[in-house]
Amino acid sequence: MNVFVLVLFCICGFVTADEDERLPNKCEVCKFLSVELQEALERTARSKEVLEVGEVLDTGKRRRKIKYNTSETRLTEAMDNICERILQYNVHAERPGSLRYAKGASQTMTTLKNLVHKGVKVELGLPFELWDEPSVEVSDMKKQCETMLEEFEEVVEDWYFHHQDQRLENFFCQNHVLKTSEQECLNEVWKGDMGKKEGAAEVESDSAEEEGANDNTKEEQGKTREEL
């Protein structure tokens, strides 16, 4: 059984090898940068904190007060180390396009870890304790994220102060960063594992049909023996 599992894994590895080796494109980097920054800002959107800005002068003039949720401070804090959050993503090689990047363990990695815990020897070319380290793809996305944010920081600021009626992904990626021909990944939406579930159901159905066919064959063989 162990040999069969390892052979099956090797076969799957050859099938997905080309897909696994690709690095994230500009659209994918922009998409997840927008997702992370939008989420970071939403976490502080309802803050009622009030900031006092400016210096207290000898004249006794009071410092100006502004709401935190519309302040530059809020944006700066949200942008601080935002690309580090990209390292929380993993490659889900079983998914297509930009959907391959998601937080949480992939089905493939979960399966492999379960095999290891059952005593099956699995060779990935690196120690088991490094399996959860960011992949080459994710590390590359983080670097591209930093470069993109530095290059288009003024666009983010323009959106924050003047265009929050639009989704950041639309304003930032569609209108400023990406060419029309580069925007395909923005339309990719994760719809769960429905396809896999349907596939599993088909397999179960096929198995049931095979079992039924086997039972019929056995009955026919039994009748033939009785006739003899």
What pTM did the predictor assign?
0.68
Distances in Å between the alpha carbon of 49 and those of 43, 68, 75, 161, 193?
13, 5, 14, 18, 41
Q: Domain ranges in the chain?
A: 2-190, 193-228
The overall average pLDDT reported for the chain is 76
Asked whether residue 217 carries a pLDDT value surpassing 60, the answer given is: no
Structural contact between residues 39 and 168, judged by C-beta atoms closer than 8 angstroms: no
Asked whether residue 53 carries a pLDDT value surpassing 90, the answer given is: no
H or E element in which residue 202 lies: helix 194-227
Higher pLDDT, 113 or 9: 113
Structural contact between residues 84 and 139, judged by C-beta atoms closer than 8 angstroms: no
**What tens digit of pLDDT does each residue of 125-143 get?**
667 666 667 789 999 999 9
Q: Please, where are the H alpha helices in 126-193?
A: 136-151, 153-162, 168
pLDDT > 90 fraction of the chain, expressed in percent and rounded: 42
d(CA 185, CA 84): 22
29-38 mean pLDDT? 97
pLDDT of residue 61: 62
Asked whether residue 202 carries a pLDDT value surpassing 50, the answer given is: no
Angle, vertex CA 47, rays to CA 43 and CA 52, nearest 5:
130
